[in-house]
Amino acid sequence: MKFVTFSWFIFALIPVTPAFFPSQALAQLPARFYLKSLSGGSAVPLIVESISGNTNPFDPAHNVTAGANFDATMSLAGYALAFPLFDRAALAAIIVPMGRISGEVTVAGKSVSQSAKGFGDPMLEFDINLIGPPAQKNIPDVLRYEPGFSLDLLADLALPIGEYDSSQSLNIGQNRWYGRVAMPVIWQLGPWVPGRRTTLEILPSVWLFGDNTDYGGKTLKTDPSFQLDAHLTRDFTEQLWGAIDGTYYKGGKSSVDGVSGTSSSNIGVGLTLGYQINDNLNLTFGYKSTVNDSAPDDLKMDVFMVSLVYGWHPLVEGMKRLSGEK
């Protein structure tokens, strides 16, 4: 029974994976992040990033260390599940960052080399659609899905259980609670036909940080920060799409034992290419870099990212087995 190709179903599953993209890196989620999928669908991502800059990419507060240079290799893996809640599309996910970071860090005027490795702070994510199509509870809903104008409510919460060594300033775990509240918006421009899809997506969010009371024996506080991500995406073919990405970040001034740092205001831009390898597997490649980073206190960061996302749904997999494709 192949009235529709399985790729249609799986394409709908791929967006299950938003939580797995590197929210830490440039604190920006990739385009097509909040497209909805068939309820009951699951996905597992593997995301690998190579990052350099003057801030710890594992810390979304983006505290800039002037004159520092960090290099990090970070990967993220996790699991996400799409489900209906009050007839709205909802998503629950967990993502675990892991990797290593090294760099020159200046602490109290003294330059030292530090490195860290291990598991970072797992992040829980919950997203629910408020305006837009109802939850996709069956295949006909998937077939009829078009985002149109959709608005979600999103909440992230990082659990402070990652690797942390209070004797050094460079860590993978952050030793504090943090998270964000956001409202992802997707605006469909034109037809929703594979090969011709165009979207404008914006994601305003506010990051909130708890205190790290053991930051080299001191207390690190960080003010809330505002972040605005934007993506203009377009299909090139039915399988290949691209995006122009932009990020604006403001706020997040930190203080250590009452000694305040500076508040940052940064802009980053990037490009993303996405390709659907087969019915289950999606590949994304992206590069992002800050642009207003000439001053010593400006955030400097650039990121190469490759992601592989495997999505599946029991119904679709069963249909494939019956049709002899598996």
Partner 1 sequence: MDLYSLKRMVNMKQIKQQIKQAGMVLVVFFTVVIVTSAYAEPPGPTTGKNEAKRPNIVIILGDDLGFADLGSFGSEIKTPHLDSLAKDGVRFTNFYTNASCSPTRSVLLSGVDMHQNGLGNMDEFTAPNQWGVDGYEGVLNDRVATLPQLLKDAGYHTYMVGKWHMGKTPEQIPAARGFERDFTLLDGAGSYWDMTNLSAATPKSVFTEDGKYLTKLPDDYYATKTYTDKLISFIEAGRGDGKPFFAYVSHQAPHDPYHLPQDWRNRHVGEYDKGWDAVRQERLKRQIELGIMPAGTTLAERMWFIPDPIVLAPASRAILGKKMELYAGLVENLDFHVGRLIDYLKKTGQYDNTIFLVFGDNGAEGNDLFKMIAGTPGTRDALFAAINWSQTHPNAWGDPGSYVAYGPMWAQASMTPFSQFKGWLAEGGIHNALIVSGPAVKRPKGSINNSVMHVADLMPTLLEIAGTSYPKSYQGRELPAISGKSWGPLLAGKAESPRTEQDYLGWELFGNRAVRQGEWKLRWQYKPLGTGEWELFNLVADPAERKDLAAERPDKVKALLALWDDYVKTNNVILPSRSVFETMYDVLPVRVPDDPGYPPLLYKKQFVPPKEMVVEPKQ
Min separation Cβ 9 and partner 1, Å: 9
Q: Summarize as ranges the residues that interact with partner 1 (CB under 8 A).
A: 1-4, 8, 138-140, 143-144, 146, 191-196
Name the token pair of 105: 């860090």
- Percent of the chain as helix, strand, coil, to the nearest 5: 10, 55, 35
Cβ closest to partner 1, residue 191 vs residue 224: 191
Min separation Cβ 184 and partner 1, Å: 22
Cβ closest to partner 1, residue 67 vs residue 318: 318
Distance CA(192)–CA(153), nearest Å, equals 23
Min separation Cβ 139 and partner 1, Å: 4
Strand partners, 8: none
Cβ closest to partner 1, residue 230 vs residue 316: 316
Name the token pair of 207: 């990051």
Q: What angle do CA 249, 91, 80 make, to 5 degrees?
A: 95
Distance CA(308)–CA(190), nearest Å, equals 28
Q: How many residues does the chain have?
A: 326
Min separation Cβ 35 and partner 1, Å: 14
Q: What secondary structure letter does DSSP report for 67?
A: T
Cβ closest to partner 1, residue 190 vs residue 296: 190
Min separation Cβ 142 and partner 1, Å: 8
Task: Report whether 222 contacts 254 (CB < 8 A).
Answer: yes
Min separation Cβ 321 and partner 1, Å: 15
Cβ closest to partner 1, residue 147 vs residue 261: 147
Q: Which of 95, 102, 20 is nearest to 57 (CA)?
A: 102
Distance CA(214)–CA(208), nearest Å, equals 18
Cβ closest to partner 1, residue 18 vs residue 147: 147
Task: Report whether 301 contacts 60 (CB < 8 A).
Answer: no
Name the token pair of 308: 């592989």
